[in-house]
């Protein structure tokens, strides 16, 4: 009976890792749609968002069932609680990719981003997708050092996000207020996506050590 229970725990962690992979793919596609004004790809991201929502619902349902039926303690309890919190963060990562895709669709056939800021978003896109992929591996391995190493990519995204404000506030900004608003909102989506990935990694450190680390953003923890 206990062996079957631990198999269920492992399967639950596997589903959480799959959610991280889905969120990574969603943002990878959304970024490509944004940079290339690719309407078909934007529509694909928008249509696939419900799959991440469904995955969260399934993870939470199974986690609550384990709480009710198995009354887990110690590491097992931390695992179940981490799944519940992490599934929420991963769903929000999917939602943020959705927002990026909707911005690309809204401005189509024009590009939502002025050309001078496109390289910044390409760099942020690569960084946040890398974060989500590494988070997927951390969920599987519960490697504390690997989880802590995510901070560097998060810092990179934060730095670019801050720099975007100086770009749109510069005297030579010639693209008007609507474009500045788009850049501000889109930059925020990437910054929050990275924060949620770090939040999930923190949950895995909590599973392994019983302590919540203090690095990175503490929002949504």
Q: What ranges do the domains of the chain cover?
A: 2-209
Nearest to 112 by CA among 164, 186, 169: 186
Kindly give, in sequence order, each residue whose CB lies less than 8 Å from that of residue 1, ignoring residues fewer than 6 positions away. none
* Predicted confidence (pLDDT) per residue in 16-55, tens digit: 999 999 999 999 999 999 999 999 999 999 999 999 999 9
Q: Which residue's structure tokens are 């749609």?
A: 33
CA distance 159 to 153: 10
Is the pLDDT reported for residue 216 higher than 70? no
* Predicted confidence (pLDDT) per residue in 129-147, tens digit: 999 999 999 999 989 999 9
User: CB of 63 within 8 A of CB of 5?
Assistant: no
Peptide bond into 215 cis (omega under 30): no
User: Tokens in use for 62?
Assistant: 């199974």
pTM exceeds 0.75 for this model: yes
Residues 121/123/129/134 CA torsion (nearest 10 deg): -150
User: CB of 194 within 8 A of CB of 129?
Assistant: no
Residue 74 zone, left/alpha/beta (φ > 0; ψ -120 to 50; rest): left
Burial of 45-80, coded b for 16+ CB within 10 Å and e otherwise, reads bbebbeebeebbeebbebbeebeeebebeeebebbb
Mean pLDDT, residues 175-190 taken together = 96
Where is average pLDDT lowest: 75-79, 110-114, 159-163, 215-219? 215-219
* Predicted confidence (pLDDT) per residue in 69-122, tens digit: 887 778 888 889 999 999 999 999 999 999 999 999 999 999 999 999 999 999
Which CATH superfamily does the domain covering 2-209 fall into? Phosphate transport system protein phou homolog 2; domain 2 (1.20.58.220)
Question: What is the secondary structure of 18-47 as a DSSP string?
Answer: HHHHHHHHHHHHHHHHHHHT-HHHHHHHHH
């Amino acid at each position: 009976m206990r062996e079957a229970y631990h198999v269920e725990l492992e399967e639950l962690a596997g589903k959480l890792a799959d959610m991280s992979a889905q969120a990574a793919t969603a943002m990878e596609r959304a970024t490509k749609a944004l940079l290339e004004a690719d309407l078909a790809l934007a529509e694909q991201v928008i249509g696939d968002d419900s799959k991440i929502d469904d995955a969260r619902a399934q993870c939470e349902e199974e986690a609550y069932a384990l709480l009710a039926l198995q009354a887990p303690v110690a590491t097992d309890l931390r695992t179940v609680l981490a799944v519940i919190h992490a599934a929420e963060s991963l769903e929000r990562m999917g939602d943020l990719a959705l927002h990026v895709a909707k911005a690309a669709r809204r401005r189509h056939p024009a590009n939502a981003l002025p050309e001078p800021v496109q390289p910044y978003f390409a760099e942020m896109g690569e960084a946040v997708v890398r974060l989500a992929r590494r988070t997927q591996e951390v969920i599987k391995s519960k490697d504390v050092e690997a989880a802590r190493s995510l901070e560097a990519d998060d810092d990179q995204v934060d730095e670019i996000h801050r720099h975007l404000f100086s770009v749109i506030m510069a005297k030579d900004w010639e693209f008007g207020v609507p474009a500045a608003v788009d850049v501000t909102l889109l930059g925020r989506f990437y910054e929050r996506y990275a924060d949620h990935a770090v939040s999930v990694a923190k949950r895995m450190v909590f599973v392994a050590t019983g302590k919540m680390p203090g690095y990175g953003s503490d929002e949504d923890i």
